[in-house]
Structure 1
């Protein structure tokens, strides 16, 4: 009986206390819900990171220790092993590193070695291709400078960098998707159009 009387005194005898208690409880529930629900800004940031390279994107180093500066023509040596880069959203400065399928191989070649279609997609001889093999989506990390061919170390598929990433040999199913580039007024490498084909393994 005393417990019942005590409850009545708390709830009914002092309405201000009751209203304060209810308001506090509601505020606590709202706070918990906000903490459990991702913010709109966070979700938008993830969408930018996951998105494939977009026209207008800059490029930066894949290695986190080097990220920040936009890659320029001068960052690539002629006929050197491919440099792996990631696209950068120009509006937010966010690096699109949410998917490994966003990794891009860059190689600088003599423009006279490129076929017509590859030359048109290059930025003064800098060609760009997906770094994922079209066989099993392994990273294409090897380079044969004598033949100007990319080599996948997993199953030895070879792709011609001078001819649109065409498949030369191996179990891969199709050419490497190419990424058209252009140069900005400051000599920075810029994505000019989306990948020419689906990125990843399979036919």
Structure 2
């Protein structure tokens, strides 16, 4: 039996985009949001291609500020222009901000209860799984060439094992990567 062909969902409205980002912001805990965004906009709705999404994710991570906010701006602008960017960032920030203020008051009152500890541990596990999923998708897209693979491995070792400061690893590794790609483009390899 073959899988049915995937068709793109209808293009979003401003309200629809706000509601999607609000839902993602309200249902994602402790990180892993880029995994939700990938599933929502690339895999489920087919509004953005995987390669475009990963390029947007790279840009969002390179820019200052919170990655998911940067990603919301990028996706919103890509889909509905500047209005989409404004609505997407409002959706990802405002409803969760209101919710977290209320939740903070409740958790503050219940923090010593054992069930609260179990719920927080479960949320952390789910966020770790989403981040791992996003890492696997990204790693699959790395070109199977020596320099990109070596840079990916060196970044993992520097941050994950040696615990070097992220800012220096990004500045040095990112700078090297950009220079390498620029040289490859100039040589006509890309």
Give TM class, smaller chain: under 0.3
Task: Decide which structure has greater strand share.
Answer: 1
Normalised to the residue count of structure 2, the TM-score between the two structures is: 0.23
Task: Decide which structure has greater helix share.
Answer: 2
| Larger of the two Rg values belongs to structure | 1
Normalised to the residue count of structure 1, the TM-score between the two structures is: 0.22
